[in-house]
């Protein structure tokens, strides 16, 4: 069974993309605060959340690997990108002109896979790309990735597997940690070891450092592949 492991990076859309009514809705909670400093702090917090919502952000990168063959590609938004990668490289970096092209390319690859592995993909990556694809009218080739939560086919979400579907909640023995923490615990190189995190994506986009985003996203996927191997060898089948 062919398995694809993927991860996405997102970036907030400019505030001017939203009309006055939309902005009033987005910042409504902040405007209820009387103190000006506290109100501005709340507005900044909400603005920071924009990159997490598919109606206020866009997909700027998707990295994917074939879990068995360790080959894949990284699709990323770039302006005037001319660098050409080695055609024989196991992972190809493919610049895209816009999000429509990026998502179209992604779903064209995804249709060849029966099984998908993510870290927190059921909670974030999959619904995000579903909604962005719907907004841009990009055909979705795999509509079953949310599936039945308590199953690992066709979607194995490692964030759920390592918490046994949140048994015991945040105070229990299987509380959820982030990917970085799991990697360090299991001796896997952390995707954050190069000094870049998901919080840096919007800044890197503004600075035109598109390849840095792509490299970071790929490190996330490589780490997820290694964590998947550990889960498959040591934990798969526990009920």
Backbone angles phi, psi at 80, to 5 degrees: 50, 50
Q: What are the phi and psi torsion angles at 19 (to 5°)?
A: -75, 180
- pLDDT tens track for 26-58: 999 999 999 999 999 999 999 999 999 999 999
Closest to 5 measured CA to CA, from 125, 177, 166? 125
pLDDT of residue 196: 74
Going from N- to C-terminal start, the domains of the chain cover: 3-13+56-234, 19-53
Q: Is the pLDDT assigned to residue 195 strictly greater than 90?
A: no
Over residues 139-145, the mean pLDDT reads 98
pLDDT of 47: 95
The per-residue pLDDT of the chain, averaged, comes to 93
Please state, for a pLDDT cut of 70, what percent of the chain lies above it: 97
- The string of DSSP codes covering 54-75 is TTTEEEEEEEEEETTT--EEEE
Q: Is the dihedral of CA 42, 45, 50, 52 positive or negative?
A: negative
In DSSP terms, 94 is beta-bridged to 75
Classify domain 3-13+56-234 at the CATH superfamily level: Ribonuclease H-like superfamily/Ribonuclease H (3.30.420.10)
How far apart are alpha carbons 62 and 217 in whole angstroms? 7
Are residues 217 and 76 in contact, defined by beta-carbon separation less than 8 angstroms?
A: yes
Q: Given a cut of 60, is residue 79 above it in pLDDT?
A: yes
């Amino acid at each position: 069974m062919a398995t694809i492991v993927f991860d996405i990076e997102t970036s907030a859309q400019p505030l001017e993309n939203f009309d006055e009514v939309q902005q009033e809705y987005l910042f409504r909670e902040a405007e209820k605060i009387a103190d000006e400093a506290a109100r501005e702090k709340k507005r900044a917090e909400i603005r920071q959340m924009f990159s997490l919502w598919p109606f206020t952000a866009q997909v700027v990168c998707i990295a994917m690997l074939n879990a068995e063959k360790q080959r894949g590609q990284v699709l990323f938004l770039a302006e005037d990108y001319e660098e050409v990668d080695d055609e024989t490289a196991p992972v190809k970096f493919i610049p895209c002109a816009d999000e429509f092209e990026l998502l179209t390319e992604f779903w064209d690859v995804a249709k060849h896979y029966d099984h998908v592995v993510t870290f927190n993909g059921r909670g974030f990556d999959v619904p995000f790309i579903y909604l962005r694809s719907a907004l841009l009218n990009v055909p979705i080739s795999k509509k079953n990735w949310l599936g039945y939560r308590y199953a690992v086919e066709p979607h194995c979400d490692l964030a759920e597997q390592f918490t046994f579907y949140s048994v015991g909640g945040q105070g229990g023995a299987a509380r959820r940690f982030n990917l970085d923490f799991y990697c360090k615990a299991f001796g896997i190189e952390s995707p954050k070891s190069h000094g870049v995190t998901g919080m840096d994506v919007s800044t890197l986009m503004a600075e035109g450092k598109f390849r840095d985003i792509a490299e970071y996203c790929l490190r996330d996927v490589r780490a997820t592949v290694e964590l998947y191997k550990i889960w498959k060898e040591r934990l798969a089948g526990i009920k």
